[in-house]
Homo-oligomer: A and B are copies of this chain.
Amino acid sequence: MGNLNFEMTNIETDKLAESGNDVNPIKTIIKASPYMQSYERLLLENKAWAAEKVADDPDFFNRLANLQRPDFLWIGCSDSRVPANEITGTQPGEIFVHRNVANLVVNTDVNLLSVVDYAVNHLNVKHIIVCGHYGCGGVQAAMTKRDYKPVLNMWLRNIKDVIRLHEDELNAIENMEQRVDRLVELNVIEQVKNLARKSSIQRAWRASGYPHLHGWVYGLKDGLINTVFEMPAGSPVDPIYELDDL
């Protein structure tokens, strides 16, 4: 432990000095050690990160511990390459996050719905962002005839239902990569609409004028977010799903 702390001190020294040299011992350890691929590396990195935060701002964690007041709920894909905070440059405390396979909003999913409920009614978030990503593996899987076994089959069925609703548009796209990417966009649009179709969102819109809904797609190839669909609070909802006695 003492040794580890010492190393962390070294790291901080390096950073404070903004040095570009090769002395960072932890980083060196991390890179050099055969154990670095294991979960222990995450724990070492955590200690380094926490030490850095406190070095920069001794009150950082105290402030944060007493406050969760995010403006945003992020509903994104579980994909490892789309970390919500990093790609949006946000800090701990800023985004409430749910991530599942292919960022789906399913109307009977108590997991997702309890996240939305907590975010909207207890945290009063102002924005819900559904963020997909081009080349999404879940979306690609749903476009095949492959059997992904019971659990994934159940889940991917939701994407097949999106394909069904936009079959003509999709079939007209000959390039398969482009077809996947258009389905990624259409999927995000449908999931945003699924939120707007929920009574809890319609009720919140009337009560508070929030949350605004956003459909974004992240590009793995350029790191940029493409805004594909917006439903500001109070937007018209398809009359089939509109409730009027909320």
* Chain A residues packing against B (C-beta within 8 Å): 30, 37-39, 42-43, 45-50, 53-54, 60-62, 64-65, 68, 70-72, 78-90, 92-101, 104, 106-115, 117-119, 121-122, 126-127, 129, 135, 137-138, 145-147, 149-158, 160-161, 163-165, 167, 197-200, 203, 212, 214, 219-225, 227, 238-246
Which residues of B are found within 8 Å of A238, using beta-carbon distances? Answer: 164
Task: Answer whether A97 and B99 are a contact pair too, CB < 8 Å, given A110-B155, A145-B242.
Answer: yes
Task: Answer whether A146 and B245 are a contact pair too, CB < 8 Å, given A80-B95, A199-B153, A212-B39.
Answer: yes
Which residues of B are found within 8 Å of A92, using beta-carbon distances? Answer: 80-83, 86-87
How distant is A225 from chain B, measured CB to nearest CB, in Å?
5
How distant is A74 from chain B, measured CB to nearest CB, in Å?
9
Given A39-B71, A49-B87; 6 other pairs, CB 8 A cutoff? A43-B225, A83-B85, A111-B112, A114-B155, A118-B152, A153-B198
Contact of A240 among B42, B84, B167 (CB under 8 A): B167
Task: Answer whether A151 and B150 are a contact pair too, CB < 8 Å, given A42-B88, A50-B222, A160-B240.
Answer: yes
The residue of chain B having its C-beta at the shortest distance from the C-beta of A242 within the complex is B145
How distant is A220 from chain B, measured CB to nearest CB, in Å?
4
A224 in contact with B100 (CB, 8 Å) = no
How distant is A117 from chain B, measured CB to nearest CB, in Å?
5
